[in-house]
Structure formats: structure tokens, C-alpha cells
Structure 1
Amino acid sequence: MKQLTFLVVLVLGVVFSTVASKPGKEKEVKIKTSAVCDMCKERIEKNLTLSKGVSEAVLNLDDKVVTIKYNPKKTDEAALRKVITDTGYDADSQMCNKTAHDKLPECCQKGNEAHGHH
């Protein structure tokens, strides 16, 4: 039991020291996407984490919101939304890049009626 308590304290210490060591350097933004499955999640997270200035991108499929941690000196929210739309997904109110969306596997495409497909 003592070991477990020590581990929890150790983990919390690491988390807090990591946050404390970057005052105001890193920003976090939450962007609503049109992701539908694990493949979407992987694709969006991968493209965002490969983007300049992004340290972390985690998409929650329950609410389709991706939480992105980034360096505001290297990128901004508009650029991050563009990565998502260029990947083929909506980013908040911005519509996806239609060409990129149409190249996605069929299961990853959002409701076809939104793009006028029949």
C-alpha cells in the first residue's frame, strides 16, 4: 500500500512539475470535428502531432472533440483547424476540404447528404 501511495505522489509530482515548468508557453484548444471511428481518430491525431508546434492531440470519439496542446509561437488555432479540414474533417464551424473528405475510407465519411451525394 505504501508503494502505491508513493507512486501516486510521484506521478502527481511529475504532472505538476511538467505544467509548472512551462508557464504560458503552451496553449490548449478544443476543436469539434466530424470524426466517426478509430481510424478517423488515428488520422486526425497523427496529422496534428506531425504539425509544427503541436505537442499533443487527443481526440475523444464520444463528443468528437480533439484537444490539442501547442506552442503559440509556432502555430495558431487557424492553422490547426486547417490541418483538420485538410485531413477531410470539419473543424468547429469550418467545413472539411471536400477533396480530402472524398478520399477518406467510406466509413470515415460523414453523412453523405451533407455533401450532396446520393
Structure 2
Amino acid sequence: MNSIKKIVMAIIVLLSVTSVNAQIKNTQTETVKIYGNCGMCETTIEKAGNIKKIARVDWNKDSKMAILTYDSQKTNQEEILKRIALAGYDSTSFLAPEAAYNNLSGCCQYDREAKVAVTSETKIDVSDSEQGKRMTTMENNTEKPKMDQLKPVFDNYFSLKDALVKTDGKAVSTVAKDLLASLNLVKMDELAMDVHLVWMKVMKALMAGAKNISETQDIKKQRSLFMSLSINMHDLIKVAKYETPVFYQFCPMANDGKGANWLSKEDAIKNPYYGSQMLSCGKTIETIK
């Protein structure tokens, strides 16, 4: 009887995978281990990993194994597992943030396994407290360069804004080239997980915006392109943060009266969309710390 049940379950899984594969193009299928306990974990893991017609996760609570089926031209295993980690679940590749794990229901808080690689030089005969201090130091030393590599991107953006305030099309074009260069230098695999996810969403738009601005000295066109660039930069700086508070500002007159935003290191308004014509037009609507 048990063998019949296993055969039926295998057929159901096969039909399910076949159905998923029919919906997802450029299909890639992989099996990975994701830690969890129960049916509630299964629901959360699969919801976090699934994207309609792009990615599907089928997790088994008994084996802890997940079948990942995805469009290889639109996503990859790393991105799927990062989304699942942000929902609180460790995998063989990523540790979930402590806060996300702590937010899981009691029945879902699985036993976490050490993910720190042990080398031949690693001393393991240390107290738990000392090992904890070492791990914290390692995490702090790792996180700093991950954030610092975005600083040139933000600095070039602020310089671009300043050039627009001066209504200097030539300078705007030059700074936009610097911005594009700094964007190209970002190593996305070294970004913190939450920053990486936002970077993946805004990267192409930021690069296209910087490139288009660099290719013209028409100040009107540059200002128009700067609008969407600022929206995407806002999404990135909100999660990555900057070394000092950043002010998200708004001009109601720009964009033919529809309004437009920009980021500034100063709370005082210096409007990049009008320059000296209406330098102080606008207000700060958000402070990012």
C-alpha cells in the first residue's frame, strides 16, 4: 500500500513540475536544501521564492529539500534563495537576517546550523562568547566594504544634481559619465542582501539614465532624464544609506506641473530643475538617515 502511495505522489509531483515548466520559459531546475519545520514554513518559503511565470519553489518539510524551477534569463538560484532568506529561512547558500528569523512563529524557528567555514588555521577550542565576538568582528569587517562601494555612486549623483543647479549642460554631461563609471564598478555579489535585491531592480534604469544624460548637453533634456534617475536612486539610498542624512526634496512646478523629486545632502532647497530661475522652489518631504 505504501509503495502505491509513493508512486501516486511521484506522479503528482511529476505532473506539477511539467505544468510549471510549460508556464516558465528557458526552464532551469535545481534542488537545494532550505531549513524549516512545518507546513507554515512551506507556505512562507514557497511564497517568498515564487514569481509568476518566472520562478517556482516546491519545498518538502520532511527532507528540507526544495525544487527550484525558473526562467534562467530572468532570474537565478541566488536571487530566489535571497528572497527566501529575507523571509527568515536559511539555505546552504544564505543565512537569513537575525531579525527575519526571530519574527518567525515559534513552531517555524528551526534549529540553525553553523555556516562559518572552518579552515585548517581556524582554532575551534575557544569559548562560545569568544567565538561570538570573532564572528561579530568578521561580520562588521565584511559589511563595511559592501556599503562603501556605493558611496562613489551617491557622490557622483550629488555632483550631478549640483551641476544641474548651476544650469551647466557640459558639466552635467561630464559628471554623468563619472556616475555611469561608478555604477559599472559596483560588484553586486559583494552587496548586503537587502541592498542587492534593490540594486537588481534599479541597476539597469540607473545605468541607462546616466548614459543618456552623458550623451547630451541639452539642459532641458538632462533635467527630464534626471527625474527618473532620482526616483531609482532614492530607492537605492533608502536601503543602502549614506554617511550623513540625505534629504528627499520635491518641486511642484517641475515636469509640467506634475512635480519631480531629487536627493540632496543639504536641507536647504537648491532646485536642479530650474536653477537660478527658481532656486528655492520646493520642499523636503523625507529625511533618510
Q: TM-score, normalised on structure 2?
A: 0.30
* Aligned 8 A contact 2:81 2:93 in 1: no
User: Structure 2 CA distance, aligned partners of 1:27 and 1:68?
Assistant: 8
Q: Structure 1 unaligned runs (5+)?
A: 1-11
Aligned residue for 1:63? 63
Aligned residue for 1:106? 106
How many residue pairs get matched?
Answer: 98
The Cα shift of 1:30 comes to: 1.4
User: Structure 1 CA distance, aligned partners of 2:79 and 2:50?
Assistant: 13
Q: How many percent identity over aligned positions?
A: 29
Aligned residue for 1:49? 50
* Aligned 8 A contact 1:30 1:66 in 2: yes
Q: Which has the higher contact order (CA 8 A, sep 6+)?
A: 1
Alpha-carbon distance change, 77 to 51 in structure 1, aligned in 2, over 3 angstroms: farther
User: Structure 1 CA distance, aligned partners of 2:106 and 2:58?
Assistant: 23
Aligned residue for 2:38? 37
Point out the structure with max Rg over C-alpha.
Answer: 2
Q: Which runs of 4+ in 1 moved over 3 A?
A: none
SS at match of 2:36: coil
The Cα shift of 1:98 comes to: 1.2
Alpha-carbon distance change, 29 to 113 in structure 1, aligned in 2, over 3 angstroms: closer
User: Structure 2 CA distance, aligned partners of 1:103 and 1:51?
Assistant: 26
Aligned residue for 2:77? 77
Render the CA deviation track for 1:31-59: whole Å, top value 9, x for unaligned: 211110000001111111137821x2111
Alpha-carbon distance change, 97 to 51 in structure 1, aligned in 2, over 3 angstroms: farther
User: Structure 2 CA distance, aligned partners of 1:51 and 1:35?
Assistant: 23
Read off the aligned partner of 2:86 and give its amino acid letter. Answer: D
SS at match of 2:42: helix
Alpha-carbon distance change, 92 to 42 in structure 1, aligned in 2, over 3 angstroms: same
Read off the aligned partner of 2:98 and give its amino acid letter. Answer: K
What is the CA RMSD across the aligned residues, in angstroms? 3.0
User: Structure 1 CA distance, aligned partners of 2:40 and 2:110?
Assistant: 13
Q: Structure 1 or 2: larger helix share?
A: 2
User: Structure 1 CA distance, aligned partners of 2:67 and 2:57?
Assistant: 6
Q: Structure 2 unaligned runs (5+)?
A: 1-14, 115-127, 129-289
User: Structure 2 CA distance, aligned partners of 1:81 and 1:30?
Assistant: 12
Aligned residue for 1:27? 28
Alpha-carbon distance change, 66 to 77 in structure 1, aligned in 2, over 3 angstroms: same
Q: TM-score, normalised on structure 1?
A: 0.69
